[in-house]
């Protein structure tokens, strides 16, 4: 296994754990605390939608694992995970800069987009090195 594949495995797993432990479970079990802690708008019906978003994030994060574990075999899953992370990060940034929402969303956008770029570079290097190893055999 090339070193980029190994690092892609690790970084993807860390991203999944951050999604589940840092967002999905708090969204499901303590949505109002999460809204208050980060100074996000919400309340009332938002709590129901936060729980729904938490469930979706939990299951989507689990789907990232196969692409993170074996991005050669499950390359579409690996690429999809990066694309989705960038789309979600861009959405957070859109909320702040276009929709005029609270700047509290910036941290989510910056972290998601930075993670997506870093993970995308790792995946590109992993796939590139895998082709080189394969053609050398």
Residue 133 has pLDDT above 90, yes or no: no
Q: What is the pLDDT of residue 43?
A: 64
Q: Across the chain, where does the E strand assignment appear?
A: none
Q: What is the pTM of this model?
A: 0.85
Q: Which of 68, 78, 54 is nearest to 12 (CA)?
A: 68
> Is the Cβ–Cβ distance between 40 and 102 less than 8 Å?
yes
Length of the chain: 137
Residue reference for tokens 């390359």: 75
11-63 tens-digit pLDDT = 999 999 999 999 999 999 999 998 888 888 776 668 899 999 999 999 999 99
Q: What is the pLDDT of residue 39?
A: 82
Q: What is the pLDDT of residue 21?
A: 97
Q: What is the pLDDT of residue 80?
A: 94
Q: Token pair of 44, please?
A: 């009332």
Q: What is the pLDDT of residue 135?
A: 60
């Amino acid at each position: 296994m090339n070193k980029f594949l190994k690092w892609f495995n690790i970084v993807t797993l860390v991203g999944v754990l951050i999604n589940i432990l840092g967002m999905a479970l708090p969204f499901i079990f303590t949505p109002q605390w999460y809204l208050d802690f980060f100074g996000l708008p919400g309340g009332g019906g938002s709590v129901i939608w936060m729980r729904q978003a938490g469930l979706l994030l939990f299951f989507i994060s689990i789907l990232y694992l196969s692409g993170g574990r074996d991005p050669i075999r499950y390359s579409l899953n690996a690429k999809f995970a990066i694309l989705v992370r960038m789309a979600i990060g861009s959405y957070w940034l859109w909320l702040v800069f276009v929709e005029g929402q609270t700047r509290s969303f910036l941290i989510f956008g910056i972290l998601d987009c930075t993670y997506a770029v870093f993970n995308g570079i790792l995946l590109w290097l992993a796939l590139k090195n895998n082709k080189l190893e394969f053609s050398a055999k």
